[in-house]
A and B are shown apart, each in its own frame.
Chain A
Amino acid sequence: MKFGILVFPGSNCDRDVATVTSGILKQPTRLIWHTDTDISDCDIVIVPGGFSYGDYLRCGAIARFAPVMRSLQEHVSKGKYAIGICNGFQILTESGLLQGALVRNRDLHFICDRAPLRVERNDLPFTQKYQKHQVITLPIAHGEGCYFADADTLKELEDNNQIVFRYCDAIGNVSEDSNPNGSLGNIAGICNKQGNVIGMMPHPERAAEEILGGTDGKALFEGLLEGLLVNA
């Protein structure tokens, strides 16, 4: 399976992701510069975190118009997998591949922490190695991670089971106290209706090796890989 990792000016988690997909999972991995348009060789595209285009105007607003994004639209429309992490999630919402938007954190601070998350569904390749409602802990690092969508969209996400991760406390209770950034419904990650695109603010790639303090993120990449090998 070949992983492609998009690189925009200002991306800074691209190599962290490559360390997981290439270094740990031993899969062919290609860094894709934002001006490239042929990504047909990639089975999975990852839009990594960072500050694409300096986060000018709105996070992800300018990256959305990079040449590679049209190719990503095609990739996704073929049913192939894509995942947006942190700034990558913001880029996917700006481009309309995922619903809603990410706005300034409720308390204005940039948050750099570890957050417990509840896995809301484990029937996606991304989450199949987790138990339903399992509590995992992943690092978060963002200033604009507060998930927002209008009431109709939120209802649609709930009705279609599109919420993948929610912020929770250590034992899995989802409450306002366990909501680090004010996200509606404690939403930390969602998927599209088809389930082949997910976006999440937490960083699974920063929790894939014991030496980094946790391995809860590794299963996400392993699940994705396993899902693809089964379908291949």
Chain B
Amino acid sequence: MKYQARIFVTLRPSVLDPAGTAVQSALKQMDYHVDSVRIGKYVEIVLDAADDNEAAQKLDETCDKLLANPVIENYRFELTPIAEEVKS
């Protein structure tokens, strides 16, 4: 079964985000007053897996090993099964 995963990697709250702070001050200059800005990463992956559990397990592994660094980042993902193309 094919899945699409949308992975969100965010900086842990204790890590300063100078880029987010710069964007927030730019917004302020534009007269948009927002409480906070934190910049993270968004990754889309298409993968094959037998079922939801296996897909989630594979994604946890890829995130733990490569996509996120647990020292500074958290991650979460959303999994959506992709409908197989109907063969005529």
Determine if B72 and A148 form an interchain contact, defined as CB atoms under 8 angstroms apart: yes
- Cα A149 to Cα B41 in complex, Å, equals 20
Residue from the set A57, A105, A108 with the largest chain B CB neighbour count within 10 Å: A57
Total A-B Cβ pairs within 8 A: 36
Contacts of A182 in B (CB 8 A): 16, 18
Task: Report if A106-B18 is in contact (Cβ < 8 Å); known contacts: A100-B71, A148-B71.
Answer: yes
Determine if A105 and B15 form an interchain contact, defined as CB atoms under 8 angstroms apart: no
Contacts of A107 in B (CB 8 A): 18
Dominant SS among interface residues on chain A:
loop
The residues of A with any CB-CB pair to B shorter than 8 Å are 57-58, 61-62, 65, 93-94, 100-101, 103-108, 146, 148-150, 182
Determine if B69 and A58 form an interchain contact, defined as CB atoms under 8 angstroms apart: yes
Determine if A57 and B66 form an interchain contact, defined as CB atoms under 8 angstroms apart: yes
- Cα A150 to Cα B41 in complex, Å, equals 21
- Cα A105 to Cα B18 in complex, Å, equals 8
Q: Which 6 A-B pairs have the closest CB atoms?
A: A101-B71, A101-B72, A108-B18, A104-B18, A106-B18, A101-B69
A-B contact list, 18 entries, CB within 8 Å = A58-B69, A61-B66, A61-B69, A62-B66, A65-B66, A101-B71, A101-B72, A103-B15, A103-B72, A104-B17, A105-B18, A107-B18, A108-B18, A108-B19, A148-B15, A148-B71, A148-B72, A150-B14
- Cα A101 to Cα B66 in complex, Å, equals 14
- Chain B residue nearest to A64 (CB atoms) is B66
Contacts of B14 in A (CB 8 A): 150
Determine if A104 and B66 form an interchain contact, defined as CB atoms under 8 angstroms apart: no
Determine if B67 and A57 form an interchain contact, defined as CB atoms under 8 angstroms apart: yes
The residues of B with any CB-CB pair to A shorter than 8 Å are 14-19, 22, 41, 66-67, 69, 71-72
Determine if B71 and A106 form an interchain contact, defined as CB atoms under 8 angstroms apart: no
Q: Which of B17, B22, B67, B71 contacts A150 (CB 8 A)?
A: B71
- Cα A100 to Cα B18 in complex, Å, equals 18
- Chain B residue nearest to A107 (CB atoms) is B18
B68 to chain A, nearest CB (A): 9
Contacts of A105 in B (CB 8 A): 18
- Cα A146 to Cα B17 in complex, Å, equals 11
Determine if B16 and A94 form an interchain contact, defined as CB atoms under 8 angstroms apart: no
Q: Which of A58, A103, A108, A148 contacts B22 (CB 8 A)?
A: A108
- Cα A57 to Cα B16 in complex, Å, equals 18
- Cα A25 to Cα B71 in complex, Å, equals 37
B23 to chain A, nearest CB (A): 11
Q: Which of B15, B22, B69 contacts A94 (CB 8 A)?
A: B69
B16 to chain A, nearest CB (A): 7
- Cα A108 to Cα B26 in complex, Å, equals 14
Contacts of A93 in B (CB 8 A): 71
Determine if A104 and B19 form an interchain contact, defined as CB atoms under 8 angstroms apart: yes
- Cα A54 to Cα B18 in complex, Å, equals 21
- Cα A57 to Cα B75 in complex, Å, equals 14
